[in-house]
Amino acid sequence: MDINRSTDMKYLGGLTDWGRKLNNTFNNLLYANHFQDNIVKGIGDEIMLYIPDEQLREKSSNNNHYALLEDIYAGLYLIKNHPDTDLFLNCKVAIHYCTEVYNITFFKGANDFYGSDIDLTARLMAKSVENRIVLSEKFYIKVKNDLINLHMTDKSGCLSRISEKFLENFKGVPTSTEYRVIDIQ
């Protein structure tokens, strides 16, 4: 999750105003969707979440990939459409289903994740823009499987707005990557 045009706002609008909105925005996205324990790292105006499958399944509600996507969509919708335009900053998001991930850190007490899928997630973020979710085809397939299990159509909820498949050769990624986008209404 990344704040759009954050650096511009920081210098044009002032640090205090930027900080307040940044805090509001991340709190909204994290706490309203119960993701606050899944932050891997935050660097300024960008945060990375890692939600292992077993942890997702243990959630008492919204415990599948479709629900995850739907809540992220709704979170961005609330920010974009909130009547008070002075509270939040618009965001962009990239989501990938990671299998090549390993937890390693060089700092005592810290927590970090590495792996080719983490690199790919960062590449996907470069394809996102304000009020857009970019999702890898690998994640989309997980979402579609959930919809089958939930007896829901593949145009349910925010998926009615999903794009066709795009193909991209990302720098450093040996094979082409398939992804789709959902623009927030």
Partner 1 sequence: MELIEQKTEKCVIVSITGRLDTTNYSLLEKKLTDLIENHEDKILVECSKMDYVSSSGLRILLMALKKVTMAKGKFVLCNLQDNIREIFEISGFSNIFEIYPSQEEALKVF
Burial class (CB in 10 A: 0-12, 13-18, 19+), 25: buried
CB 46 within 8 A of CB 3: yes
Q: State the binding string over 13-32 for partner 1 (x if CB under 8 A, else -).
A: -----------x--xxx-xx
Bridge pairing between strands 91-95 and 132-136: parallel
Using the rule CB under 8 A, which residue among 37, 57, 61, 164 binds partner 1?
Answer: 61
Using CB under 8 A as the binding rule, whether residue 83 contacts partner 1 is answered as: yes
Using CB under 8 A as the binding rule, whether residue 9 contacts partner 1 is answered as: no
Q: Can you tell me the distance from the alpha carbon of 112 to that of 131, in angstroms, rounded to the nearest whole number? A: 27
Of the two residues 82 and 165, which places its CB atom closer to partner 1 in the complex?
A: 82
Tell me the three state secondary structure of residue 183: strand
Show the tokens assigned to 30: 């994290």
Using CB under 8 A as the binding rule, whether residue 157 contacts partner 1 is answered as: yes
Q: State the binding string over 90-129 for partner 1 (x if CB under 8 A, else -).
A: ----------------------------------------
Using CB under 8 A as the binding rule, whether residue 60 contacts partner 1 is answered as: yes
Strand order in the sheet with 39-43: 39-43, 46-49, 2-3, 91-95, 132-136, 177-183, 166-168
Using CB under 8 A as the binding rule, whether residue 33 contacts partner 1 is answered as: yes
Binding region for partner 1 (CB under 8 A): 24, 27-29, 31-34, 60-62, 66-67, 70-75, 77-78, 81-84, 87-88, 150, 157
